[in-house]
A and B are shown apart, each in its own frame.
Chain A
Amino acid sequence: MDGFGSDFSAGGSGGKIDAGTIMEQVKVQIAVANAQELLQRMTDKCFKKCIGKPGSSLDNSEQKCIAMCMDRYMDAWNTVSRTYNSRLQRERARM
Protein backbone atom coordinates (compact mmCIF):
# COMPACT_ATOMS: atom_id res chain seq x y z
CA MET A 1 0.00 0.00 0.00
CA ASP A 2 2.92 2.38 0.58
CA GLY A 3 4.46 4.23 -2.31
CA PHE A 4 1.24 4.34 -4.30
CA GLY A 5 0.80 8.07 -4.35
CA SER A 6 4.25 9.19 -5.41
CA ASP A 7 4.39 7.38 -8.76
CA PHE A 8 0.90 8.14 -9.96
CA SER A 9 0.36 11.87 -9.92
CA ALA A 10 -0.79 13.37 -13.19
CA GLY A 11 0.66 16.85 -13.01
CA GLY A 12 -0.07 19.30 -15.78
CA SER A 13 -2.96 21.66 -15.29
CA GLY A 14 -3.12 21.30 -11.51
CA GLY A 15 -5.49 18.30 -11.59
CA LYS A 16 -3.46 15.89 -9.53
CA ILE A 17 -4.71 12.30 -9.40
CA ASP A 18 -3.14 10.74 -6.36
CA ALA A 19 -3.85 7.02 -6.12
CA GLY A 20 -2.94 7.12 -2.45
CA THR A 21 -5.63 9.71 -1.73
CA ILE A 22 -8.19 7.70 -3.67
CA MET A 23 -7.24 4.62 -1.66
CA GLU A 24 -7.76 6.53 1.56
CA GLN A 25 -11.15 7.77 0.43
CA VAL A 26 -12.20 4.28 -0.56
CA LYS A 27 -11.13 2.97 2.83
CA VAL A 28 -13.20 5.64 4.55
CA GLN A 29 -16.21 4.78 2.40
CA ILE A 30 -15.83 1.12 3.24
CA ALA A 31 -15.57 1.95 6.95
CA VAL A 32 -18.75 4.00 6.69
CA ALA A 33 -20.55 1.24 4.79
CA ASN A 34 -19.38 -1.27 7.40
CA ALA A 35 -20.73 0.86 10.25
CA GLN A 36 -24.03 1.43 8.44
CA GLU A 37 -24.44 -2.28 7.84
CA LEU A 38 -23.76 -3.04 11.50
CA LEU A 39 -26.16 -0.39 12.79
CA GLN A 40 -28.93 -1.31 10.39
CA ARG A 41 -28.88 -4.99 11.30
CA MET A 42 -28.41 -4.27 15.01
CA THR A 43 -31.40 -1.94 14.98
CA ASP A 44 -33.53 -4.53 13.24
CA LYS A 45 -32.59 -7.30 15.69
CA CYS A 46 -32.90 -5.22 18.82
CA PHE A 47 -36.21 -3.74 17.81
CA LYS A 48 -37.54 -7.28 17.34
CA LYS A 49 -36.15 -8.46 20.68
CA CYS A 50 -36.95 -5.45 22.83
CA ILE A 51 -40.07 -3.75 21.61
CA GLY A 52 -43.26 -5.74 22.00
CA LYS A 53 -46.28 -3.66 21.32
CA PRO A 54 -45.01 -0.19 20.37
CA GLY A 55 -46.16 2.44 22.89
CA SER A 56 -46.08 6.18 22.68
CA SER A 57 -42.42 6.26 23.78
CA LEU A 58 -39.59 3.91 24.71
CA ASP A 59 -39.96 3.07 28.39
CA ASN A 60 -37.09 2.31 30.80
CA SER A 61 -37.10 -1.45 30.35
CA GLU A 62 -37.09 -1.07 26.58
CA GLN A 63 -34.16 1.37 26.78
CA LYS A 64 -32.20 -1.03 29.02
CA CYS A 65 -33.00 -3.93 26.73
CA ILE A 66 -31.78 -2.00 23.71
CA ALA A 67 -28.48 -1.15 25.44
CA MET A 68 -27.94 -4.76 26.47
CA CYS A 69 -28.96 -6.02 23.07
CA MET A 70 -26.43 -3.75 21.37
CA ASP A 71 -23.64 -5.07 23.58
CA ARG A 72 -24.64 -8.67 22.97
CA TYR A 73 -24.97 -8.11 19.24
CA MET A 74 -21.42 -6.76 19.10
CA ASP A 75 -20.22 -9.73 21.18
CA ALA A 76 -21.95 -12.04 18.73
CA TRP A 77 -20.40 -10.17 15.80
CA ASN A 78 -16.94 -10.65 17.28
CA THR A 79 -17.53 -14.35 17.87
CA VAL A 80 -18.77 -14.83 14.33
CA SER A 81 -15.84 -12.84 12.93
CA ARG A 82 -13.28 -14.93 14.82
CA THR A 83 -14.93 -18.21 13.82
CA TYR A 84 -15.24 -17.15 10.20
CA ASN A 85 -11.62 -16.02 9.96
CA SER A 86 -10.22 -19.20 11.46
CA ARG A 87 -12.40 -21.27 9.12
CA LEU A 88 -11.11 -19.25 6.17
CA GLN A 89 -7.53 -19.93 7.25
CA ARG A 90 -8.24 -23.65 7.50
CA GLU A 91 -9.86 -23.72 4.06
CA ARG A 92 -6.98 -21.78 2.51
CA ALA A 93 -4.43 -24.13 4.10
CA ARG A 94 -6.24 -27.00 2.38
CA MET A 95 -6.30 -25.51 -1.13
Chain B
Amino acid sequence: MSGFWRLWRDQFSQEHVDRFRQIRGFTHFPGCSEIQKILSVCCVFQVHSFTDVCWDKCVDSPGSKLDYRTETCLQNCVERFIDTTLTITNRFTQMVQKGTH
Protein backbone atom coordinates (compact mmCIF):
# COMPACT_ATOMS: atom_id res chain seq x y z
CA MET B 1 0.00 0.00 0.00
CA SER B 2 1.41 3.36 -0.93
CA GLY B 3 2.29 5.85 1.74
CA PHE B 4 -0.43 8.21 0.64
CA TRP B 5 -3.22 5.72 1.24
CA ARG B 6 -1.70 4.39 4.45
CA LEU B 7 -1.74 7.90 5.81
CA TRP B 8 -5.40 8.34 4.90
CA ARG B 9 -6.40 4.94 6.26
CA ASP B 10 -4.71 5.59 9.57
CA GLN B 11 -6.44 8.94 9.87
CA PHE B 12 -9.82 7.62 8.91
CA SER B 13 -11.31 5.04 11.23
CA GLN B 14 -14.83 3.87 10.36
CA GLU B 15 -16.35 6.50 12.63
CA HIS B 16 -14.27 9.12 10.92
CA VAL B 17 -15.30 7.91 7.50
CA ASP B 18 -18.99 8.08 8.31
CA ARG B 19 -18.67 11.56 9.70
CA PHE B 20 -16.55 12.62 6.75
CA ARG B 21 -19.27 11.36 4.47
CA GLN B 22 -21.87 13.41 6.28
CA ILE B 23 -19.76 16.54 6.35
CA ARG B 24 -18.67 16.21 2.76
CA GLY B 25 -22.28 15.83 1.73
CA PHE B 26 -23.89 18.43 -0.41
CA THR B 27 -25.54 20.18 2.51
CA HIS B 28 -22.33 21.85 3.57
CA PHE B 29 -20.84 24.35 1.20
CA PRO B 30 -17.06 24.32 1.75
CA GLY B 31 -16.88 28.03 2.42
CA CYS B 32 -19.46 27.91 5.21
CA SER B 33 -18.46 29.33 8.56
CA GLU B 34 -19.54 27.68 11.80
CA ILE B 35 -22.15 30.32 12.58
CA GLN B 36 -23.63 29.87 9.12
CA LYS B 37 -23.92 26.14 9.75
CA ILE B 38 -25.68 26.79 13.06
CA LEU B 39 -28.15 29.09 11.34
CA SER B 40 -28.65 26.56 8.54
CA VAL B 41 -27.90 29.08 5.81
CA CYS B 42 -25.22 27.09 4.00
CA CYS B 43 -27.90 25.94 1.61
CA VAL B 44 -28.14 29.44 0.19
CA PHE B 45 -24.48 29.54 -0.71
CA GLN B 46 -24.70 26.12 -2.24
CA VAL B 47 -27.45 27.45 -4.50
CA HIS B 48 -25.09 30.19 -5.70
CA SER B 49 -22.51 27.57 -6.57
CA PHE B 50 -24.98 25.36 -8.43
CA THR B 51 -26.52 28.26 -10.31
CA ASP B 52 -23.07 29.31 -11.47
CA VAL B 53 -22.22 25.89 -12.85
CA CYS B 54 -25.65 25.12 -14.30
CA TRP B 55 -26.02 28.49 -15.97
CA ASP B 56 -22.96 27.70 -18.07
CA LYS B 57 -24.33 24.27 -18.92
CA CYS B 58 -27.90 25.25 -19.71
CA VAL B 59 -28.29 28.86 -20.78
CA ASP B 60 -27.04 29.80 -24.24
CA SER B 61 -28.32 33.32 -24.64
CA PRO B 62 -30.67 34.98 -22.16
CA GLY B 63 -34.11 35.55 -23.70
CA SER B 64 -37.28 37.21 -22.45
CA LYS B 65 -37.96 34.21 -20.27
CA LEU B 66 -36.50 30.79 -19.40
CA ASP B 67 -37.98 28.29 -21.83
CA TYR B 68 -39.07 24.79 -20.85
CA ARG B 69 -35.92 23.15 -22.18
CA THR B 70 -33.69 25.44 -20.12
CA GLU B 71 -35.77 24.96 -16.96
CA THR B 72 -35.55 21.18 -17.35
CA CYS B 73 -31.81 21.40 -17.98
CA LEU B 74 -31.30 23.44 -14.80
CA GLN B 75 -33.30 20.95 -12.72
CA ASN B 76 -31.41 17.99 -14.18
CA CYS B 77 -28.14 19.79 -13.66
CA VAL B 78 -28.73 20.22 -9.92
CA GLU B 79 -29.82 16.62 -9.47
CA ARG B 80 -26.89 15.21 -11.48
CA PHE B 81 -24.40 17.44 -9.69
CA ILE B 82 -25.63 16.11 -6.36
CA ASP B 83 -25.50 12.54 -7.70
CA THR B 84 -21.92 13.17 -8.80
CA THR B 85 -20.99 14.52 -5.38
CA LEU B 86 -22.44 11.48 -3.65
CA THR B 87 -20.77 9.07 -6.10
CA ILE B 88 -17.39 10.65 -5.60
CA THR B 89 -17.75 10.77 -1.81
CA ASN B 90 -18.82 7.14 -1.60
CA ARG B 91 -16.12 5.88 -3.94
CA PHE B 92 -13.45 7.91 -2.22
CA THR B 93 -14.34 6.58 1.24
CA GLN B 94 -14.28 3.05 -0.21
CA MET B 95 -10.84 3.71 -1.65
CA VAL B 96 -9.59 5.00 1.67
CA GLN B 97 -10.93 1.99 3.52
CA LYS B 98 -9.45 -0.48 1.05
CA GLY B 99 -6.21 1.43 0.70
CA THR B 100 -6.26 0.88 -3.05
CA HIS B 101 -5.56 3.42 -5.73
Contacts and interface: CB of A to CB of B under 8 A. Distances in A.
Interface of A: 26-27, 30, 34, 37-38, 41, 45-46, 49, 65, 68-69, 71-73, 75-77, 79-81, 83-85, 87-88
5 contacts: A30-B39, A65-B62, A73-B51, A79-B74, A80-B77
Contact of A84 (B35, B58, B66, B78): B78
A69 B59 CA distance: 10
Contacts of B92: none
Interface of B: 27, 35-36, 39, 41, 43-48, 50-52, 54-56, 58-59, 61-66, 70-71, 74-75, 77-79, 82
A56 B79 CA distance: 42
Across chains A and B, which 8 residue pairs bring their CB atoms closest together, nearest first? Answer: A72-B62, A69-B62, A83-B78, A80-B51, A83-B75, A79-B74, A81-B47, A37-B48
A72 B59 contact: yes
Main DSSP-derived SS at the B contact region: helix
The prevalent SS among residues of A at the interface is helix
Contact of B46 (A46, A72, A84): A84
Contacts of B79: 83, 87
B45 A37 contact: yes
A59 B7 CA distance: 58
A34 B59 CA distance: 22
A41 B65 CA distance: 19
Contacts of A38: 48
Given A83-B74, A84-B46, A87-B78, 16 more contacts: A30-B39, A30-B44, A38-B48, A45-B56, A49-B59, A49-B61, A49-B62, A69-B62, A71-B62, A72-B59, A76-B54, A76-B66, A79-B71, A79-B75, A84-B50, A84-B78
